Amino acid sequence: MSTIRVLLADDQALVRGALAALLGLEPDIEVVAQVGSGAEVVPAARECAPDVALLDVQMPGGDGLDAAAALHVALPACRIVVLTTFGRPGYLSRAMRAGASGFVVKDAPPEQLVDAVRRVHAGLRVVDPVLAAESLSSGASPLTDREREVLRAAADGATVARVAGGLHLSEGTVRNHLSSAIGKTGARTRAEAVRLADERGWL
């Protein structure tokens, strides 16, 4: 029986350890690397050549969806399963666009996670059924990449000037993108647009 080599990425050491212990109980699965940030995913994967990468969505140093996209380009043979505490429909479509083969919520039963690793390794897709249904009903994100980028930069209450400086855009351009994003989310304010987009997994 060939062993499935797994890379784990989660910024919470306790969660990472629990997942590693859980997967380590399986005779056909070996955890070959554990990292705590999105930026560490590709270097670790290049070093240990995993068959499957389990990536948490919310991590410092680039989130799991950005890490998934980078890993898909760097090591196309590595299958990716995105793990999330937040079952947001928009995350699912972003994960699939990033090259993920699986999308599983963290509170799924342990055997479901183990099964997901085996199934994506075999070339199948695995998607949480509840999330898949929600994703279909809520539709794709209406935000452009630039609008999403501007909203994310403005999420902590940054001024238009600071957002413009950080993204190397003019203040007028930033205002236009914010105005468009507010309209598309159906929000009344910038803060509400950030909250709504985040809840829907569009950021």
Backbone angles phi, psi at 41, to 5 degrees: -60, -55
Backbone angles phi, psi at 30, to 5 degrees: -130, 125
User: Once rounded to an integer, what is the mean pLDDT over residues 130-151?
Assistant: 75
Return the SS3 of 158: coil
User: Once rounded to an integer, what is the mean pLDDT over residues 46-67?
Assistant: 90
Number of domain units in the chain: 2
pLDDT, tens digit (0-9, with 9 covering 90-100), for 151-176: 989 988 889 999 999 999 999 999 99
Q: Is the pTM of this model over 0.75?
A: no
Do residues 133 and 110 both lie within one domain? yes
Name the helix (H) or strand (E) containing 55: strand 52-56
Closest CA to 7 of 47, 44, 38, 53: 53
Do residues 19 and 86 both lie within one domain? yes
pLDDT at 137 over 60: no
Question: For residue 129, what is the domain's CATH number?
Answer: 3.40.50.2300
Do residues 33 and 130 both lie within one domain? yes
Do residues 37 and 119 both lie within one domain? yes
Do residues 132 and 149 both lie within one domain? no
Q: Which two tokens stand for residue 32?
A: 């070959």
- Exposure on the CB side of residue 67, measured as CA atoms within 13 A: 33
Do residues 159 and 179 both lie within one domain? yes
Do residues 118 and 29 both lie within one domain? yes
pLDDT at 25 over 70: yes
Do residues 151 and 116 both lie within one domain? no
Contact between 102 and 78 under an 8 Å Cβ cutoff? The reply is: no
Backbone angles phi, psi at 21, to 5 degrees: -65, -40
Helix residue ranges, H only, 62-109: 64-74, 89-97
* Residues paired with 34 in a beta bridge: 8
pLDDT of residue 115: 93
Name the helix (H) or strand (E) containing 22: helix 13-24
Higher pLDDT, 59 or 54: 54
Question: For residue 154, what is the domain's CATH number?
Answer: 1.10.10.10
Cα-trace Rg, the chain: 18
Give the C-alpha separation, 194 to 192, whole Å.
5
Domain end residue (candidates: 137, 156, 175): 137
Strands, sheet with 29-35, edge to edge from the N-terminal-most edge strand: 29-35, 4-9, 52-56, 79-84, 102-105, 126-127
pLDDT, tens digit (0-9, with 9 covering 90-100), for 84-116: 876 666 777 778 888 899 988 888 888 889 999
Residue 86 is part of which domain span? 4-137
Contact between 143 and 130 under an 8 Å Cβ cutoff? The reply is: no
